[in-house]
Amino acid sequence: MVVDQNCLKVKKYILFIIFILLSSTKSFSENLKFKKIVTLKDPWGSSFINKNEIIITEKSGKIKIINIITNEIINIKHNLNFLEYGQGGLLDIIYKNDNLWISYSEDRGNWKTSTSIARAKFNDKKLNFKNIFQANPPIDSGYHFGSRLAIKGDYLYASAGERGQGMIAQDPTKHPGSIIRIHKDGSIPKDNPKFKGKENWLPEIFQIGVRNPQGLTLSPFDGKIYLSNHGAKGGDWFGEAKKGENYGWKILGWGGKNYSGTKIGPKWKPGFTKAIAYWVPSIATSAITIYKGEEFNEWNGNALITSLKDKSLRKLTFNNLSNVKEEIIFKNKIGRIRDIQVHPKNGKIYFLANDSLWVMEKK
């Protein structure tokens, strides 16, 4: 029997490469250490207020400060007029320069709610919030509030879900299904789309055509705002927030289908914003961040995407948009992941899971 030596060499080389890849993945995974800090009840949003303390929301209505060194928990009173209804309740929270901003499902009466934003001076005893934004119209629905917050300079960005109303996301005279941009005090930027050729848009709207965007973050590298969005049955995506543009829901399906199995629309077509990455089937994208830190410094500039469905953390390298690379860092370690924060000093990564706060670091 004649043996093709070149063929054997190629096969051996391929097997060697596969072994190296599998070994490096296994080695990296084994070098991660997870530690549960405290038990919580349905936590949703989080923000560091200093190097030792993180403030969190629970959907059912509590705001807590957690000391990540001592595990001490402080409950803070507040005056928010919220309604825990379906996916609604207290949502995202962000701290900056002794101020807090929070997004929540505001009780507007008769089971109608809106994705609203309020601001308060930080106080660890009681928070006296004042509304600076309400998504109108209020809607009787427990679905798709969004909602994440991000600060860039004097601007506050927020995501407002379409509340299960589909084509409302294509109506710029209504807030649901859009990315909002206001100043941190609630005033309206004079360069928002309404004042730059989109006269029929509401003044707070920055971009339209989103479904249920539960991730929003500022990149410390390029200064851009990025978001993640739940599709329906498939069609999750990660992309950039772009002024005056349209992500296409519910004209576009982003690769997904209705839960009934019927087709929604094409993945993308010209005239709409194109996402950077898509997931079909859905991974139920949640919070995101663009990593910057020391603990995992090899990840600097990469997007970290959290998942509710397969309980995973995914890393996207997207500096070359024609060759976006995805790596699954872990699955099924800590439960459904709702939020992600990078420690401002050491770069360790903190997660809100469905019932707890966790930290991930290298061994």
Between CA 50 and CA 354 the distance in angstroms is 24
In this prediction, residue 244 carries a pLDDT of 98
CA-CA-CA-CA torsion sign (44, 66, 35, 38): negative
The dihedral formed by the CA atoms of 292, 212, 185 and 74, expressed in degrees to the nearest 10? -70
Task: Please state, for a pLDDT cut of 70, what percent of the chain lies above it.
Answer: 92
**φ/ψ of residue 79, rounded to 5:** -115, 20
* Integer-rounded Cα radius of gyration of the chain: 21
Mean pLDDT of 222-251: 96
**Sign of the dihedral defined by the CA atoms of residues 337, 341, 343, 349, in that order:** positive
- Following CA atoms 279, 284, 289, 294 in sequence, which dihedral angle do they give, to the nearest 10 degrees? -90
Residue carrying the six token digits 């701290």: 95
Coil vs helix vs strand at 17:
helix
- Asked whether the predicted pLDDT for residue 24 surpasses 50, the reply is no
Q: Which two tokens stand for residue 6?
A: 């070149």
What letters, b where the CB count within 10 A reaches 16 and e where it falls short, cover 118-129?
bbbeeeeeebeb
pLDDT band, residue 4 (cuts 50/70/90): low
Here the tokens at position 213 are: 């965007």
**Residues 159-209: pLDDT tens digits?**
999 999 999 999 999 999 999 999 999 999 999 999 999 999 999 999 999
Q: Average pLDDT of the chain? A: 93
Tokens at 242, concatenated? 């772009």
Q: Average pLDDT for residues 7-32, to the nearest whole number?
A: 58
pLDDT at 263 over 70: yes
* Residue 18 reports pLDDT greater than 60: no
What is residue 8's predicted lDDT score, i.e. its pLDDT? 59
Local confidence band at 1 (pLDDT 50, 70, 90 cut-offs): very low
The yes-or-no verdict on residue 27 having pLDDT over 80 is no
Element (H, E) at 14: helix 5-30
CA distance 172 to 194: 10
Q: 164: alpha, beta or left, given left = phi > 0 and alpha = psi -120 to 50?
A: left
- Mean predicted confidence (pLDDT) in 308-321: 96
Report the pLDDT value the prediction gives residue 30, as an integer from 0 to 100: 73
| 78-107 pLDDT per residue, tens | 999 999 999 999 999 999 999 999 999 999
pLDDT in tens, 344-362: 999 999 999 999 999 999 9
The answer to whether the bond into 172 is cis (omega within 30° of 0) is no
- Strand partners of residue 230: 212
At residue 304, does pLDDT exceed 60?
Answer: yes
Whole-angstrom Cα distance, residue 93 to residue 55?
8
Residue whose pair of structure tokens reads 């859009």 in the numeric block: 178
**Across 309-334, average pLDDT:** 96
pTM of the model: 0.92
pLDDT digits (tens, 9 = 90+) for 265-303: 999 999 999 999 999 999 999 999 999 999 999 999 999
Residues 327-331 have a mean pLDDT of 96
The residue extents of the domains of the chain are: 1-30, 35-362
CATH 2.120.10.30 fits domain 35-362: yes
